[in-house]
């Protein structure tokens, strides 16, 4: 993973700035780890997210999920093109397992059937990957539908 560390390119300047701004609002009384995210849709719109923790740790909402929630709330059906995450960690953090599952919900509607994932930090370092690489063999809504069809028989 470390060998793919690059710099945030100029093409991601807007996404990076939006994520950094959201990160400053993170509610992190328990971990102290502020995380920001920004997603860009196929229509060009950008939505921010930050992590919001609570004393029942498992109920924490990560920055990535926060951004997706905001976008769905604003637009309904969305086509997610890119997701950028920013922390002050080096190497930068990749989306957690639960976020990967939530992101998977939007993959079928994504342009080209995949979503670009950029993990960055405040130093401008970046790990770039795609959703398909991050979550091979995913549990998908298609499997759920197949199981439901079987039940009905
Ligand atoms: N967190 C995120 O917001 N996104 C990630 O991809 C990984 C972890 C948050 C959850 C928690 O508030 C803090 O970072 C420490 O795990």
Tell how strand 36-41 and strand 46-50 pair up.
Answer: antiparallel
Q: Which atom of ligand 1 is nearest to the CA of 26?
A: 12
- Whether 78 contacts 71, CB under 8 Å: yes
Provide the CB-side half-sphere exposure for 56 (13 A, CA): 1
- Whether 131 contacts 104, CB under 8 Å: yes
Render pLDDT for 26-51 as a digit per residue (tens, 0 to 9): 999 999 999 999 999 999 999 999 99
Render pLDDT for 102-150 as a digit per residue (tens, 0 to 9): 999 999 999 999 999 999 999 999 999 999 999 999 998 778 888 888 8
Render pLDDT for 56-77 as a digit per residue (tens, 0 to 9): 999 999 999 999 999 999 999 9
* Centroid of chain to Cα 142: 21
Q: How far apart are CA 115 and CA 109, in angstroms?
A: 10
pTM: 0.94
Q: Is 53 a catalytic residue?
A: no
Q: Which atom of ligand 1 is nearest to the CA of 53?
A: 12
* Number of compact structural domains in the chain: 1
- Helix H or strand E segment including 149: helix 141-152
CB-ligand 1 contact for 31 (6 Å cutoff): yes
| Domain containing residue 108 | 2-152
CATH number, domain with residue 76 = 3.40.140.10
Report how far ligand 1's centroid is from the alpha carbon of 151 (Å). 37
């Amino acid at each position: 993973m470390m060998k793919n560390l690059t710099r945030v390119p100029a093409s991601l300047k807007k996404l990076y700035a939006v994520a950094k701004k959201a990160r400053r609002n993170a509610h992190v009384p328990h971990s102290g780890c502020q995380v920001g995210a920004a997603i860009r849709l196929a229509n060009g719109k950008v939505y921010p997210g930050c992590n919001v923790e609570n004393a029942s740790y498992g109920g924490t909402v990560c920055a990535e999920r926060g951004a997706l929630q905001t976008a769905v709330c604003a637009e309904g059906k969305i086509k997610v093109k890119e997701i950028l995450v920013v922390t002050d960690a080096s190497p930068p953090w990749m989306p957690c397992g639960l976020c990967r599952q939530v992101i998977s919900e939007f993959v079928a509607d994504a342009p080209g059937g995949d979503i670009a994932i950029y993990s960055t930090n405040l130093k401008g370092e970046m790990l770039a990957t795609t959703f398909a690489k991050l979550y091979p063999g995913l549990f998908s809504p298609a499997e759920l539908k197949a199981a439901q069809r079987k039940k009905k028989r």
